[in-house]
Amino acid sequence: MKEMLLVLLIVFMGISVKAQESIVTTFHRMLVFNKENKLLVVKIKDKKLWVTPGLYQNSKQTIKQGIDSIASTYNIKVFDVELRGMYGLKNPSQNYYSTRNIFVMKTDSVDVLLPNIIGEAVWLDVNEAVERISIPHIQFFINDVLIYPNDIRYGTVERFESNGKLKSKISEKFYSRKQF
């Protein structure tokens, strides 16, 4: 019995340590502008969630390959891809940190196909697009990179839920990390 307890204790401690490990992810958010300078905004199927396209860096793809492959799921080709932000996203209640890379890019494509997980896709003026997007931290990031078009922007946002609504607050003021 003593041995069994010892084994359980060791497993218990191991799992406890594992449970405390941070989750650190990287997400590439795509701001795709068409010829009329309208931004592509998409609605997740069966959810009231409007976002811009994007992908986690969790496959065996380079950043460029990842962006091109997501664009291809919408049947569009993107060019002039610019990295404009590398923000941090934290969840206060979780041991979680995510680097949110914001890429601005152009497309000449007009017609958009809908990938399986997307219910709707629309091209909107930037202000209208930001208003349509339902996740506050994405709104923060888009507004910031568009205010500073020749910059590379940093800063951290904490997201949380309040009264069943997703909210965000800036916990590290946005700043530049580009040398002019």
Partner 1 sequence: MKNVTLFFIVTLISISTFSQPSDNPPSNKTVIRLTILNENGDILMKKTDYGWMTIATFHTQRQNINEVIDSLSNLYGITIAKPYLRGVFTYKYTFKASADIRQVYEAKYINGDLESVKGNHNLMWLPKEEAIEKLKETVPSLGEMTQQTLDFPNAIWGGSFLLSRDKDDKLNSQMTESFHPLGDNQYEIQSESSLIKKTLEKYMEGSSYNKPEMLESAFTENATLYLTGKDGFKIYTPKEYVAFFKNGEKGEFNGRNAKVLAIEVMKDIATAKVEISIPKREMIYVDLFLLKKFEDGWKIISKTATRTDNN
Residues that bind partner 1 (CB under 8 A): 1, 4-5, 8-9, 11-12, 15-16, 18-19, 22-26, 56-64, 80-84, 86, 88, 90, 94-99, 101, 150, 152, 154, 156, 172, 177-179
Query: What's 30's DSSP letter?
Result: E
Nearest distance in Å: CB 32, partner 1:
15
Nearest distance in Å: CB 152, partner 1:
6
Nearest distance in Å: CB 168, partner 1:
15
d(CA 80, CA 10): 53
Nearest distance in Å: CB 8, partner 1:
4
Strand locations in the chain (E):
23-33, 39-44, 50-51, 54-56, 78-91, 96-107, 118-124, 153-162, 165-176
Q: Which is nearer to partner 1, 33 or 154 (CB)?
A: 154
d(CA 59, CA 67): 12
Q: Which is nearer to partner 1, 29 or 84 (CB)?
A: 84
Other CB atoms within a 10 A radius of the CB of residue 104 amount to: 21
